């Protein structure tokens, strides 16, 4: 509520109002279109341990199926998109994590075809 009414009373890290004040009319949040070495290091510190223990949560899979089902029932077309990643980011994937992800991707494709 403070983010809506008095965002300046909150610490910068706790403010949520950037999500609706900084996006453009079409909903795009600019700002990460440039790369900073310090950001890359922070991202590596954060993502590398996660990718090392990568697993696909059954709840997330169920959620994805539910989305597809809802859209199917309501006649809404769905396109699933796997966004491209930088070469640095791709280098953090262990081969087994990448294999799991590709297998999941292929399953999505087969089940929804």
Partner 1 sequence: MQLFLLGIFKKFVIADRMAVFADPVFADPAAFSSNANWLALLAYSLRIYADFSGYSDMALGVAHLFGYRLTQNFNMPYLAVNPSDFWRRWHISLSTWLRDYIFIPLGGSRGGEWRTCRNLLIVMALGGLWHGANWTYLLWGLYHGLLLAGYRLFFHKPAAPARTMTSPLLALRACQILVTFTLVTLGWVLFRPEGDKALAMYERLFAGLAGSPADTPSSQPLVDRRNLLRRHALRHERFMVEVLESSARPGARPGAGAAAWRRGTPRAVHRETLHLLYILMRLLFPRLARIPRRLPKSQSRLRKSSSRRARQTVLSCMAFFILLNVALSVGMDTIAPFLRDGDFVSRRQRAEARAAANPGRPLTVVLGSSRADHGICPLALDDSGPLISNCSQVGAGPLFAVVDTATLAARRRRAAIDSARILATLSPWGRQKCRVHPHRPASLLRQRRAIHSRLSPGPRRNAATDAGDSSHADLESPAAIC
Residues 6+ apart with CB under 8 A from 49: none
Task: Tell whether residue 47 is a contact of partner 1 (CB under 8 A).
Answer: yes
What value does the CA radius of gyration of the chain take, rounded to a whole number of Å? 19
Among 1, 37, 53, 58, indicate the residue that binds partner 1 (CB under 8 A).
Answer: 1
Min separation Cβ 2 and partner 1, Å: 11
Among 41, 49, 52, 71, indicate the residue that binds partner 1 (CB under 8 A).
Answer: 71
Using CA atoms, how far residue 39 sits from 23, 35, 61, in Å, is 21, 7, 30
Instruction: Report angle CA 62, 50, 16 to the nearest 5 degrees.
Output: 75
For the segment 78-107, give every residue that binds partner 1 (CB under 8 A).
78-90, 98, 101, 104-106
Half-sphere exposure (Cβ direction) of 106: Cα atoms closer than 13 Å: 6
Residues 6+ apart with CB under 8 A from 55: 100
Task: Tell whether residue 44 is a contact of partner 1 (CB under 8 A).
Answer: no
Query: Which stretches of the chain bind partner 1, using CB under 8 A?
Result: 1, 3-4, 8-9, 11-13, 16-17, 19-20, 23-33, 35, 43, 47, 50-51, 54, 56, 59-61, 63-64, 66-68, 70-72, 74-90, 98, 101, 104-106, 108-109, 112-113
């Amino acid at each position: 509520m403070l983010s809506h009414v008095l965002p300046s009373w909150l610490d910068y890290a706790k403010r949520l109002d950037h999500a609706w004040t900084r996006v453009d009319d079409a909903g795009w949040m600019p700002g990460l279109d440039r790369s900073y070495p310090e950001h890359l290091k922070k991202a590596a510190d954060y993502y590398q341990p996660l990718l090392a223990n990568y697993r696909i949560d059954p709840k997330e899979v169920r959620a994805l199926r539910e989305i597809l089902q809802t859209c199917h029932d309501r006649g809404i077309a769905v396109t699933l998109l796997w966004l491209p990643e930088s070469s640095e980011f791709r280098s953090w994937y262990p081969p087994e994590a990448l294999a799991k992800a590709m297998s999941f991707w292929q399953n999505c494709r087969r089940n929804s075809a």
